[in-house]
Amino acid sequence: MSTLEELRAKCETCQKCALGKTRNHLVFGVGNERARLMFVGEAPGEQEDLTGTPFVGRAGQLLDKFLYAVGIERSDVYIANILKCRPPQNRDPLPEEEDACIGYLREQVRIIQPKIIVCLGRISAMRLIKPDFKITAEHGKWFQKGDFLITAVFHPAALLRDPRKKEDMLEDMKRIAAKLNEEGEFQ
Ligand code: URA
């Protein structure tokens, strides 16, 4: 099995889809390589493409606030995206882009072996939980997949557009923090 650094090196030269030509930076993922909790967003935005780090723009800053509110350190978790390169104008990922990129995320999960994966938003949930996932009805629900538990919360960018969703997000994040503590007891 490769290490995260070996995998990152492979991604750096990836040209499996057209986004390889337009990216400024690969946005591989960041955080604790032995994290028990992993967040998976959709795709890098402008700030992420400029810096090479996921969730550093406005949506990322809002995510940081929720992590802080429930006592989770950003440095304890691992954060990645379904796509590692920015789609132009932040459009939704195309199926062929997801297909080209998803193997890298699978490899990251295999290496990190998180206990809990949290999908940030519907695009991630539809890819990682089930194709017909409905974020409004099913956020906060738990699914068992192989060795890990998986759930989805609203994407932080959706909370910026509709702040009324923030209450639900806080409740979901509290339950995630509680589940992480429960899981820790059985390690
Ligand atoms: N939105 C995402 O889904 N991922 C990022 O890294 C930034 C914004």
Using one digit for the tens of pLDDT, what is the confidence trace for 9-35? 999 999 999 999 999 999 999 999 999
The rounded distance, in Å, linking the Cα atoms of 145 and 8 is: 25
- What pLDDT was estimated at residue 64? 98
Q: CB-hemisphere CA count at 13 Å for 165? A: 17
Ligand 1 in contact with 156 (CB < 6 A)? no
Q: How far away, in angstroms, is 142 Cα from ligand 1 center?
A: 22
Q: How far away, in angstroms, is 26 Cα from ligand 1 center?
A: 13
- Does the pLDDT at position 177 exceed 70? yes
Q: How far away, in angstroms, is 83 Cα from ligand 1 center?
A: 9
Q: How far away, in angstroms, is 159 Cα from ligand 1 center?
A: 13
* Residue type (1 letter), 92: D
pLDDT tens track for 119-167: 999 999 999 999 999 999 999 999 999 899 999 999 999 999 999 999 9
The rounded distance, in Å, linking the Cα atoms of 57 and 61 is: 6
Ligand 1 in contact with 29 (CB < 6 A)? no
What DSSP element (H or E) covers 154?
none
The rounded distance, in Å, linking the Cα atoms of 123 and 125 is: 6
Ligand 1 in contact with 172 (CB < 6 A)? no
Taken in order 45, 48, 50, 52, the sign of the CA dihedral is negative
pTM of the model: 0.97
Q: Which tokens in the block code for residue 125?
A: 């949930």
Q: How far away, in angstroms, is 55 Cα from ligand 1 center?
A: 5
Q: CB-hemisphere CA count at 13 Å for 64? A: 10
SS3 state of residue 93: coil
- What pLDDT was estimated at residue 28? 98
pLDDT tens track for 36-85: 999 999 999 999 999 999 999 999 999 999 999 999 999 999 999 999 99
- What pLDDT was estimated at residue 187? 52
The atom number, within ligand 1, closest to the CA of 79 reads: 6
Site to substitute for ligand 1 among 28, 42, 135, most atoms within 8 A of C-beta:
42
- What pLDDT was estimated at residue 183? 80
The average pLDDT across 81-93 equals 97
Q: Do 70 and 173 contact (CB within 8 A), yes or no?
A: yes
- What pLDDT was estimated at residue 25? 98
- What pLDDT was estimated at residue 1? 61
Ligand 1 in contact with 173 (CB < 6 A)? no
User: Counting every residue, how long is the chain?
Assistant: 187
Strands (E), the chain: 30-31, 37-41, 78-81, 116-120, 143-145, 148-153
- What pLDDT was estimated at residue 2? 84
- What pLDDT was estimated at residue 185? 60
Count Cβ atoms below 10 Å from residue 34 Cβ, excluding itself: 11
